[in-house]
Amino acid sequence: MAQFPSDFDWGFATASYQIEGSASLGGRGPSIWDTFCKLPGKIRDGSSGEVATDSVRLYKEDVALLKSYNVKAYRFSISWSRMIPLGGRDDPVNPEGIAFYRSLLEELLRNGITPYVTLYHWDLPQGLHDRYGGWLDKEEIVKDYVNYAKLCFDSFGHLVKNWITHNEPWVISCLGYQKGVFAPGHESNTEPWIVAHNAILAHAYAVKLYREQYKPVQGGQIGITLDCHWQIPYDDSPENIEAAKKGIDFKLGRFADPIYKGYYPERVKKIIDDRLPEFTEEELAVVKGSSDFFGLNTYTSQLVQEGGTDETNGYITVGHTRPDGTQLGTVGAKNICVVNPPGFRSLLNYLWKTYQKPIYVTENGFAVKDEHKMTISEALRDKDRIEYFEGYANAMLQAVTEDGVPVKGYFGWSLLDNFEWADGYEARFGVTYVDYATQKRYPKESAQFLSKWFPEHTSA
């Protein structure tokens, strides 16, 4: 039977604001998501991450669940404002926050689970947003981010060998500053390009610091996680073939090309023109080559047609209905939930061919349609999610064993149902059902499936 090599890591991923709760407890300062959730109409069910899955209190239960699922690794993110409540380099740190993450890390390690730690999964300290506009101020945010990263390396670097700087800078910039549907809710056609540029710089300077001062002693690796859905031309017309390439450049190339190759993609430059900031020579030297691996979050594939009004994707139109009316795959709770394993295999091949870096799939998962309306026992029989994971895991195995793509790890999204951003609690991505009234956790059938599938398909 085809298998991953023995050092292949697999597990589940989560993010601080989506699971931690205790948002106003333990000395944590507010983040832009706490503020955004209070704006009327922004969150579908009017909820917030104030309690979420209460994981600051229940983290030992979460680790026990991970253990029961036979995982080798767990990816979670640190809340910047739990570490430094106001966020800045001259602001006080929060000893309780440091102690919490240390306990979580120790609990993971005691259970033989390797931590993968994300520094930034969208929860910017509100203090920095108020002080100077957060991601919009290059000089300030880069210094404050690097200072925050340093605190994390100092506090946890002896326990953590896998660091991820940012989760999905496309979402940070486009959904936060262009479409206004995520925190901080800005709508602009200049800000997203500034924010993205500054996020790349903050990432790169944190990596520089890690490589110079920590890696030689701690021996870990550090990289960034980008998101992309595989882009399939709607038909074989030359313009739709070109549109699919443009779709990838606007979603992924705009970050990956500077980071792995040292320049912005031509297709992006052509449309964004002088709204696209430039790197100085000195910055470019830090940005180029600033990721040890390719962190990929991917959920589905999209059919792409040229034309449309959306600048975040370069004026293309995406969907999942083929010209003959059939769907790309089983459809779930959101437009990013459509089962299409062949697209995943193509994407992995594309990334390896284009960027030549080992790949970690840092998120991949599926929310079953209407699961939030089901009874617990109905939700536990999540056959569409099993179809998804079975298809994606096999496609990845083929990419590794047949195509020679070096995928080194895989994290299902998510360990638990959790606060799904603007969808509140109305989309459930977990392999574990969370009854929010009691905070009781119930493994879904997909959890059982994956806990067997990966050990069976990884050599000892």
Beta bridge partners of 316: 306
Q: 200-215 burial string, b = 16+ CB within 10 Å, else e?
A: bbbbbbbbbbbeeebb
165 touches ligand BGC (CB under 6 A): no
168 touches ligand BGC (CB under 6 A): yes
Choose which of 79, 167, 221, 300 interacts with ligand BGC (CB under 6 A). 167
The CB density around residue 121, as the number of other CB atoms within 10 Å, is 25
17 touches ligand BGC (CB under 6 A): no
Q: How far is the CB of 423 from ligand BGC (least distance, A)?
A: 8
31 touches ligand BGC (CB under 6 A): no
Choose which of 22, 55, 165, 297 interacts with ligand BGC (CB under 6 A). 297
**Residue 350 in tokens:** 């594309």
Scan residues 225-264 and list those touching ligand BGC (CB under 6 A). Answer: 227
Nearest-angstrom CA–CA distance, 319 and 357: 29
306 touches ligand BGC (CB under 6 A): no
126 touches ligand BGC (CB under 6 A): no
Which one of the spans 84-92, 146-154, 167-175, 394-402 is the region binding ligand BGC (CB under 6 A)? 167-175
Scan residues 347-386 and list those touching ligand BGC (CB under 6 A). Answer: 363
96 is catalytic: no
Q: Please, are residues 262 and 284 in contact by the beta-carbon 8 Å criterion? A: yes
333 touches ligand BGC (CB under 6 A): no
Backbone angles phi, psi at 312, to 5 degrees: -60, -25
User: What is the sign, positive or negative, of the torsion defined by CA atoms of 268, 274, 276, 279?
Assistant: positive
Q: Please, are residues 66 and 74 in contact by the beta-carbon 8 Å criterion? A: yes
Amino acid code (one letter) for 15: A
Q: Which of 140, 306, 363, 420 is catalytic?
A: 363
Q: What three-state secondary structure class fits 138? A: helix
Q: Which is nearer to ligand BGC, 27 or 295 (CB)?
A: 295
Task: Name which of 109, 117, 112, 44 is nearest 75 in CA terms.
Answer: 117
429 touches ligand BGC (CB under 6 A): yes
317 touches ligand BGC (CB under 6 A): no
**Residue 390 in tokens:** 């079975």
Q: Which is nearer to ligand BGC, 221 or 300 (CB)?
A: 300
Choose which of 8, 15, 91, 361 interacts with ligand BGC (CB under 6 A). 15
Nearest-angstrom CA–CA distance, 167 and 390: 25
Query: DSSP labels for 44-89?
Result: TTS--SSSTT-HHHHHHHHHHHHHHTT-SEEEEE--HHHHSTT-ST
Q: Which is nearer to ligand BGC, 9 or 420 (CB)?
A: 420
Scan residues 394-423 and list those touching ligand BGC (CB under 6 A). Answer: 413, 420
Which one of the spans 166-174, 186-194, 305-313, 317-325 is the region binding ligand BGC (CB under 6 A)? 166-174
Q: To the nearest 5 percent, what fractions of the chain are helix, strand and coil?
A: 45, 15, 40
**What are the residue numbers of the active site?**
363
Q: Which residues bind ligand BGC (CB under 6 A)?
A: 15, 18, 167-168, 171, 227, 297, 363, 413, 420, 429
